[in-house]
Amino acid sequence: MIEVRRARIDLEAVVDSVRRDDAGAIVLFVGTVRSDERVKALDYEVYRPMAIKSLTALAERAKDKFGLTDLSIVHRLGRVPVGGDSVAIACAAVHRAEAFAACAWVMDEVKRIVPIWKTEIADHPSRVRRRR
């Protein structure tokens, strides 16, 4: 499951998408919009064709690098309020060490290479910031 979507992320569906009999571990990472004294929400923008291509290639690299049995990445688009889920990564592996390591590595790579940008929606218009 590789998706970039406006709809809320169904975390159970993400986990179920990697569930296999040969996987002894599934690690789920959920990135959420944290409360900040000035940030009220995040707006996510994406260049969809490149993002899907990058996420798919990243998933294949992670499977090879960590020996995963499966991997899913789902990222939100549009406005996500404080407390909302912005990204979910599920890594399945024979053993937990590989699943944990892969999940951390994949999230770092998503932030580094995937063309998804966020704009912080602040309590005052002059405080809006755009970042990758």
Q: Check pLDDT > 80 for residue 61.
A: yes
Q: Which CATH class is domain 2-131?
A: alpha beta
Q: What is the DSSP letter of 51?
A: H
Helix, coil or strand: residue 46:
strand
Least confident of 24-38, 56-70, 83-97: 24-38
Instruction: Identify whether the C-beta of residue 86 lies closer than 8 Å to the C-beta of residue 80.
Output: yes
Residue 125 has pLDDT above 60, yes or no: no
Percent of the chain with pLDDT over 90: 86
Kindly state the average pLDDT of the residues 53-66. 97
- Percentage of residues in the chain with pLDDT exceeding 70? 93
Helix/strand/coil for 93: strand
Angle, helix 48-66 to helix 96-113, in steps of 10 degrees = 150
Length of the chain: 132
Domain ranges of the chain: 2-131
Q: What is the dihedral of CA 103, 106, 107, 111, to 10 degrees?
A: 180
Q: What are the tens digits of pLDDT across the range 91-101? A: 999 999 999 99
**Vertex 27 angle, CA 80 and 6, to 5°:** 25
Token pair listed for 65: 């690098």
Q: Determine the pLDDT at residue 130.
A: 53
